[in-house]
Chain A
Amino acid sequence: MQYLHNIGVYFLMTFEMFRKQTKWSVMKQLILKDVDDLIIGSLGIVSFIAFFVGGVVTIQTALNIDNPLIPKYLVGFATRQSIVLEFAPTFMSIIMAGKVGSFITSSIGTMRVTEQIDALEVMGINSLNYLVFPKFVALTLYPFIISIAMFLGIMGGLAACVFGGYASLDDYILGIQTDFTPFHITYAFIKTLLFAFILATVPSYHGFYMKGGALEVGKASTTSFVWTSVIIILLNYILTQLLLS
């Protein structure tokens, strides 16, 4: 019963965040700040992880292809498919649930604990619009991060492949060009946009409606990470079934 109540509150929150808009001059600043915190601030870790995981995917694929009849270019093909379809949109979103999600929950949760949200409400400001809406807008740029993750993942694979001696540069490039389906990119970005909405709203919900003190802020961050990850994984399964099957 409590779960149903929480789901209801979550949907009411997402509806409420679009109502009673904050003045544009203030909102503009909030959006720019959140773009800096959530998007620009994530570029470093996303690039690092994407590059090296791309390399690992390539090495593992190459090591598992021991049949001489299988062409070497399949290493590049397998890397591209893994990175574009799953690693960049889905697993990068799980990582972002830890980085960005925890940041959102703890910053909003701290504002709740220190009565800053009450201060906004006393002034007649729609605190959900003021706090959550800019994060939602900032995260519409999330596909930009995922594009970088896709590119660097494939580049990491290329570096590992060529410098590790698993296949030639030409083979790898042939592999990443083989059987390219543009809809796979569309599918990846549809997923990314929906995950961006989840990344903005689920951690905000956990921060906004938390009760208690500093200890509970930490607990709320953990719960938020767990639920954001669970929802992303479930949504990934549903979208894959709907769009690719």
Chain B
Amino acid sequence: MIEVKDLHKSFGEAHILKGITTTFEKGKTNLIIGQSGSGKTVFLKCLLGLFDYEEGSIAYDGEVFSKLSEDKKRDMRANIGMVFQGSALFDSMTIEENVMFPLQMFTKLSKSDMRERADAVLKRVNLPDAHKKMPSEASGGMQKRVAIARAIVNNPKYLFCDEPNSGLDPKTAIVIDNLIQEITEEYNITTVINSHDMNSVMEIGEKIVFLRNGLKAWEGSKHTIFKTDNEVVTDFVYSSNLFRKVREALLKEQ
């Protein structure tokens, strides 16, 4: 579980995060949603420890990250898996080498054990025959799956995904969403996903935090988001024609 308390982050005069308090639960897919410029990416980078923050705290299973020693921070980072928006695969390595990379850095496994582990996770993300390909030879959907495989290969406790569906067709996007949700349940990890894709919200939003202008405007789940009266949220959710029509149909039924 990740607990965030009163998180503030500024860049010069610009106050980006203005006191966010929330929790991300273990074994669930937690979504951070909001419009562009609402502070989602800054929030995610604070959670990952890539940005320092001025006030507040972030605790990973009770341990406040900023108060840990450098060695403990390093140990903690070995428990974090991250799927970047553009996949961020190392383009000088094959897909198999990309997946084996965290094992090489953080474990003392033999080469054959690493290969075995990489093989297992590549099979898990439905890429059983892609080992020797270079990332540039893989499609966008494949690259995302490799990024997920790399993120989970070292059995992390926390999985972060920055817009995992961006640039993917709707069908592949659903496959990726489902894969993340299945892995979250299977590995019992705390997953935090940064998204503005309403399809993802509908599919996997077990816990949703809605950000607006650096503040938490709403918190709930995929079951409650369509029932909320919060105008900021409804304005965001029903900005799509499709969802607006679905809502009108639902209201008519009622």
Please say whether chains A and B are actual partners in one complex.
Answer: yes
Q: Which of A25, A118, A122 contacts B77 (CB 8 A)?
A: A122
CB < 8 Å neighbour of B105 from A26, A114, A115, A118: A26
The reply on B88 being an interface residue by CB < 8 A is yes
The answer to whether B105 touches A116, judged by C-beta atoms less than 8 angstroms apart, is no
In B176-215, which residues have CB < 8 Å from any A CB?
none
Give A20-68 interface residues, CB cut-off 8 Å to B.
20, 22-23, 25-26, 33
Tell me how far the C-beta of B154 lies from the nearest C-beta in chain A, rounded to whole angstroms.
Answer: 9
Q: Tell me if B's interface is mostly helix, strand, loop or mixed.
A: mixed
In-complex Cβ contact of A123 among B70, B86, B89, B102 (8 A): B102
A residues near B50, Cβ cutoff 8 Å: 118, 121-122
B74 interface residue per 8 A CB criterion: yes
Q: Is the CB of A114 within 8 A of B77?
A: no
Flag whether B46 is at the interface (Cβ < 8 A): no
Known: A115-B85, A119-B82. A25 touches B90 (CB 8 A): no
- Please indicate the chain B residues that have their CB under 8 angstroms from the CB of A116 in the complex: 88-91
A119 and B77 form a contact (CB under 8 A): no
Q: Determine whether the beta carbon of B91 is less than 8 Å from that of A122.
A: no
CB of A124 closer than 8 Å to a CB of B: yes
User: B149 within 8 Å of A by Cβ?
Assistant: no
Chain B: number of interface residues, binned into ranges? 20 to 34
**A123, B105: Cβ atoms closer than 8 Å:** yes
Interface size on A, residues (CB 8 A): 17
Residues of A contacting B91 in the complex (Cβ-Cβ under 8 angstroms)? 110, 114, 116
- Per the bound structure, the CA–CA distance linking A122 and B70 in Å amounts to 14
Known contacts A23-B104, A26-B104, A26-B105: A119-B88 contact under CB 8 Å: yes
Q: Is residue B26 within 8 Å, beta carbon to beta carbon, of the partner chain?
A: no
Inter-chain contact B88/A118, CB cutoff 8 Å = yes
Task: Scan A88-121; emit 1 where CB is below 8 A from any B CB, else 0.
Answer: 0000000000000000000000100011101101
Q: Which residues of A contact B82 (CB under 8 A)?
A: 119, 122
Contact B84 A119 (CB under 8 A): yes
Q: Which residues of B sit under 8 angstroms from A119, Cβ to Cβ?
A: 82, 84, 88, 90
CA distance A115 to B150 in the complex (A): 15
Query: Given known contacts A115-B84, A115-B85, is B104 in contact with A122 (CB within 8 Å)?
Result: no
Say yes or no: is A125 at the interface (Cβ < 8 Å to chain B). Answer: yes
Chain A hits for B70, CB < 8 A? 20
Cα A23 to Cα B49 with chains together (Å): 22
Interface centre among B76, B85, B91 (most CB of A within 10 A): B91
The 8 closest A-B pairs by CB, nearest first: A124-B77, A115-B88, A119-B88, A124-B74, A115-B84, A122-B82, A116-B88, A122-B48
Using a CB–CB cutoff of 8 Å, the interface residues on chain B facing chain A are 48-50, 70, 73-74, 76-78, 80, 82, 84-86, 88-92, 102, 104-106, 160
In addition to A26-B104, A33-B92, A124-B76, 20 A-B residue pairs with Cβ atoms within 8 Å of each other are: A22-B105, A114-B86, A114-B88, A114-B91, A115-B85, A115-B86, A115-B88, A116-B88, A116-B91, A118-B50, A118-B84, A119-B82, A119-B84, A119-B88, A122-B77, A122-B82, A123-B78, A124-B73, A124-B77, A124-B78
